[in-house]
A and B are shown apart, each in its own frame.
Chain A
Amino acid sequence: MSQEIVLEVKDLSVDINVPAGTLHAVSNLSLHVKKGETLCIVGESGCGKSIASLAIMNLLPRRASLTAKTLALEGRDLLSLSEAEFSNLRGDRIGMIFQDPMTSLNPVFRIGNQLEEVYMEHGKGNRKEARERAEYLLEKVGIVAPKERLSQYPHQLSGGLRQRMMIAMTLMCDPALIIADEPTTALDVTMQAQTLNLLRSLQKEFNTGLILITHDLGVVARMADRVMVMYAGYAVEIGTAVEVFDNPNHPYTRGLIDCIPVPGRRKPGSKLGSIRGIVPALVGDIKGCTFRNRCDFSITQCADEIVALKELGKGRAFRCILTPEERKTTLQNPGITQ
């Protein structure tokens, strides 16, 4: 696997103006994706994962404002790009796959037209070359009889097929980075595994960077090279999938993993672990750790300052005042919270 960095983001923050004040949707987010690597961003609704991806694509709503130290794709600074240059980049160097393939394909055009359009729009070649590329990619995504499929309309395809079409469409211009936002949430379980398999094998084959945004820890565990757990706009834990799932350092990651029922691991009828409370409203000044009201280990210092990301080396980091060892002692001696 090449070690070349495709996307580099440093200190990305997104604020959105809402009637009640300023909503801090994403705060100080730093990440990078290498060629052929899959980074999964996981978190619950409202944690800022989708806003972060829209920020990278420069597709934020108007009332949102973006600040970042670095935002670079293949070494090219994205912050200085004009709107027109950016829209040239989207679909060419960055591809995006959304949750609902029915809304991302235009129902009044044939599939073929839509695929070819992307290719020609970005000046990759003429219609003949576009058609050849489309047929080639449709075969790649496992569609039998690609010629017939290209002349069909989106509503004639099943959900799984549509999502394959979206993957093919994203690959038309051979992008450096694909951002997939909940690509399999709308699909049935049996289609989910197939679609993910396809996405993974194509991404490896084309050596593309992939950011996969999902709330499904199962998908993350099976797909990710590296995982980033987000909570209330902050990245709270980063690491390789194996490290994060086997040895979570942040209490939120631990809680999330305990929440999901795992076949064969528990006796039916036993209780699931749970995280009390809900995600706080991120409006106004944020002070201290945003997770402290739901955390079993919180101490008075948690409310004082914004907790810095603790680097553990080898790309592993977490955002908590206490180390896992210290948290064990907190639980044993409740006196420390005073």
Chain B
Amino acid sequence: MLNLTTENSENNQADEFEIAVPSPPELMKRRAKSHLGFILGGSVVLFALIVAIFAPLLAPFDPYDQDLTRRLVQPIWHPTGTWKHPFGTDALGRDYLSRIMFGSQVSLMIGFFAAIISAVVGSTIGMMGGYFGGRTDNFIMYLINVKLALPGLLVALSLVSVFGGSIVALIIILSFLFWDRYAVVTRSITQQIRVNDYITAAQALGASRTRIILGEVLPNVMNQIIVIASLEMAVAIIIEAALSFLGLGIQPPTPSWGLLVSEGRSFMFFKPYLIVLPGVAIFFLVISINMMGDGIRDITAPEGRN
């Protein structure tokens, strides 16, 4: 419909003529609703999150409870499976469903905190470099280059073997691996944002650098940070699983998906569910996080000038 009626004349001093343009939050809502990948990925991630948070309430058994009389019970789809242990039990008779549910806690916690901590560190460094330029920027570029020259996984392996495989240690080591990508991206976006007049306007107001970076630059970089965070979260989950599989990550008996695969390895040929189930869990969580990240990137893409 062509809207040709002028607004009420109370305000008609302004060059007023309504064109229904959605605000950025409305636009994002609208895009999110029609983005299949985001909805699918988001639902799986949300499901995993609920399972992780409420694992103590939802899990049918204590994941550490060993019952050697019920070792290697087959899962429900096997002819001998029972509803008591829908995913069967492991070599020590622990309920496998409960262990996988508790394992999601480890994966999500490590993924989430590694992504967040590296995001805070990396983005701060990147925005500072992009905003201040000059020597600060040179120094930060130097740091980034040093980081890029390090063989990440080797450093992680050696650090883990030195500091041990606690969850906190893993989060810190993974954060150290990931900060550079945030720094590179936020730095270049900040360089583009810095030349905008609204930054000059804030400077002319006497606004402090911290306020300009946090109040003016950050809202414009935030969508990129969230996208990288989601991708890094997926990578963190995979690396945690890999380290735990190698015996360098989470230590038994804590249930971690990587560790479950590692423990199931010796029964691989006659009890394949022991490695298939945690493997599938990793696969779906990671692909869902990636789909969600892609979705966020599409949803938060800038609106352009009209």
Q: Do these two chains really belong together in a complex? A: yes
Query: Which secondary structure characterizes the binding site on chain B?
Result: loop
A268 to B33, CA, bound (A): 55
Q: A280-B17, A281-B19 are in contact. Are A287 and B2 (CB under 8 A)?
A: yes
Q: How many Å from the CB of B6 to the closest CB on chain A?
A: 5
A288 in the interface, Cβ–Cβ < 8 Å?
Answer: yes
Contact indicator A285/B16 (Cβ below 8 Å): no
Which residues of the other chain, B, contact A290 by a CB distance below 8 angstroms?
A: 2, 4
A278 in the interface, Cβ–Cβ < 8 Å?
Answer: yes
A277 in the interface, Cβ–Cβ < 8 Å?
Answer: yes
Q: How many Å from the CB of B63 to the closest CB on chain A?
A: 50
Contact indicator B4/A292 (Cβ below 8 Å): yes
B13, closest chain A residue (CB): A276
B5 in the interface, Cβ–Cβ < 8 Å?
Answer: yes
B12 in the interface, Cβ–Cβ < 8 Å?
Answer: yes
A286, closest chain B residue (CB): B2
Number of residue pairs A-B, CB distance < 8 angstroms: 37
B15 in the interface, Cβ–Cβ < 8 Å?
Answer: yes
In this complex, the interface size class of chain A, counting residues with CB under 8 Å from chain B, is 10 to 19
Which residues of the other chain, B, contact A276 by a CB distance below 8 angstroms?
A: 12, 15
A20 in the interface, Cβ–Cβ < 8 Å?
Answer: yes
Which of A269-319 touch B at CB < 8 Å? 276-288, 290, 292-293, 303
B3 in the interface, Cβ–Cβ < 8 Å?
Answer: yes
Contact indicator B2/A283 (Cβ below 8 Å): yes
Which residues of the other chain, B, contact A286 by a CB distance below 8 angstroms?
A: 2
A188 to B2, CA, bound (A): 39
A303, closest chain B residue (CB): B4
Which of B1-45 touch A at CB < 8 Å? 1-6, 12, 15-17, 19-20
A285 to B1, CA, bound (A): 6
A285, closest chain B residue (CB): B2
Which residues of the other chain, B, contact A287 by a CB distance below 8 angstroms?
A: 2
Contact indicator B6/A277 (Cβ below 8 Å): yes
Q: How many Å from the CB of B30 to the closest CB on chain A?
A: 9
What are the nearest 9 A-B pairs in CB distance? A278-B17, A281-B19, A284-B1, A277-B17, A284-B2, A278-B15, A293-B4, A286-B2, A293-B6
Task: Give the interface of B toward A (CB within 8 A).
Answer: 1-6, 12, 15-17, 19-20
